[in-house]
Amino acid sequence: MHKLTLKKTLDSCQTIVAPGVHDMISALLAEKVGFPAIFVGGYGISASHLGIPDVGIMTFTDILDRVRMIAEVTTKPLIVDADTGYGGLINLRHAVRCYEKVGVAAIQIEDQIFPKRCGHSEGVKVVSIEEMSKRIHVAADNRTSEEFLIIARTDCRPELGIDEAIRRAESYSQAGADLIFVESPQNIQEITKIRENIGKPLVFKMVPDGPLSNLDSDFLTSLGFNLLIYPSLGFLSSANAMKCAFDELKNDGLVKKQSMYNFDDFSQLIGFNDIYDFEKRWGN
C-alpha cells in the first residue's frame, strides 16, 4: 500500500520532498521524475478543476474525485490537503474514511474557521485550540490504521504570532497529530524555534515568492524538517509555460521559441504504448 511507504520513510528519519500536483499530467510527471511522495493541494485543484480561488467553494466531492484519479496512476504516497474537514466533525469523519479508502497516505487538517481560504490570502481566521484538537481526535479515531497519517496545520502565525503558533502546535501534538505544520514562518529564527520546541515530525511548505523561498531542500533538512511540500510548483510552472506559448502564437502566428515536451515522449507518458501493445495482442 502507498501509505505504508510514507510512515516507514518518516520513521527512518529521511526527509521527504513532495511536489504539488493538480491534475493527471502533473501527477504522471511527478511519478516519472521519481519523487518519494506527492502532495495534492486545494489551491491547485480548485484552480485547475473549477477555475476559482481556494476560498472554501470547492466541495469535498470535487477534490475526492481528483484524488481518486491521481491515486490510480501513481505508485507514490499521496499527501492530501483536507482543509478544515469540509464542514463539521461529521464531514471530517466522512473525509477521513473516504481518503483512507482510496489509498491516501496522509491528510493535512488546518485550524482555520469554516469555510476556509488559502493560507496566503487575506482574511484568514482560526478556531480555538480546543476545536482544532477535537478535529484531530476525530480524524485519529476514525482511521482504520495508524499508517494513515494526520498532519495538523496551524494558520495563526500572521495574526497571532509565532509563540501562539508553537503553543498550538504543542497542543495538536498532544491531541494525536503525527506531523506538525506551522504555516507562514517569516525567517530562519522562527523555523529554528519551531524545531526546537516541537517534538513531532515537521512539515515545511515552500512558496516561490515567500521570505524563505531561497532555502533549498538540503538546508531545510539540516534544520530538522521531515516533509517538504511544494504545492504551487507544478501549476505555476505550467501556467507560465502555457502563457508564453500562447503569447508567442498570438503575436507571431507560430511557436518556435518555447520549450515543449516532445510529443512522442508525452504520448508514452500518458500510456499510448500500453494501448499499442494491447492492440497487437488482441486486435482493434
Q: Please give the pLDDT value at position 148.
A: 96
Q: Please give the pLDDT value at position 1.
A: 43
Q: Give me the residue spans of the domains in the chain.
A: 2-236, 240-282
Q: Please give the pLDDT value at position 283.
A: 84
Q: Please give the pLDDT value at position 73.
A: 92
pTM of the predicted structure, to 2 decimals: 0.94
In this structure, which amino acid lies at residue 43? Y
Do the Cβ atoms of 226 and 10 come closer than 8 Å? yes
Q: Please give the pLDDT value at position 170.
A: 97
Q: Please give the pLDDT value at position 118.
A: 67
The pair phi, psi for residue 147, each rounded to 5°, is -70, -20
Q: Mean pLDDT for each consecutive 10-residue tract of the chain (284 residues)?
A: 74 93 97 96 94 89 96 95 95 98 96 79 86 98 96 95 97 97 96 96 93 95 97 97 96 93 96 94 85
Is 3.20.20.60 the CATH classification of the domain at 2-236?
A: yes
CB atoms closer than 10 angstroms to residue 51: 7
